[in-house]
Amino acid sequence: MLWFYLLLPSLLCDNLLCYYSPVLEKEKTSELIVTECPSDELCYKADGRYGNHSALSARGCMAKQDCSQVHSVRHKGTVYTMSYACCDTPHCNSCPGVAATSLYITVTLLTVAVMAGSL
C-alpha cells in the first residue's frame, strides 16, 4: 500500500515527462533517465560549443523563461557556450541532434509514402 502513496503525486499531476542526462562530451553517452518536470518547466536539449565545434550536450527540465538562452559553462577547465532549445511534449528531448518538429515531419512524410504505396 505504501507504493500507492509514493506514486500518487505523479498520478494526480499531469507534469511533462522528459529525458535527463548530465553535461557530457558529445562522443560520450550515458543512459537517458526519464524525469518528471515541475509544472512550470519544459524539456530541453543543450548544445555546448567551443568556437565552431559542438562539444557538449545535456538534457533535462528548465523554466520556460530560460529557454532559448545562451550561457557560459565551465567543464573540465574549458569555458563552453551552452545554448538551450525547449519543447513541450512528453519525451521530446530524446533525439540528440534532431529537433522534435523535424522528427514529426519525417514521420508524417514516411507514413504518407507508405500509405500511398499501399493504395
Would you say residue 8 has pLDDT above 50?
A: no
pLDDT for 38 beyond 60: yes
pLDDT surpassing 60 at residue 42: yes
Rounded to two decimals, what is the model's pTM? 0.67
At 73-111, the pLDDT tens digits run 999 999 999 999 999 999 999 875 544 444 444 444 455
pLDDT at site 2: 43
Instruction: Provide CB contacts within 8 A for 79, sequence distance 6+.
Output: 72, 73
What does the domain layout of the chain look like in residue ranges? 15-117
Q: CB-based burial of residue 55 (10 Å sphere; 0-12 exposed, 13-18 middle, 19+ buried)?
A: middle
pLDDT of amino acid 116: 62
Sign of CA dihedral 63, 68, 72, 76: positive
Is domain 15-117 given the CATH code 3.10.350.10 in the classification? no
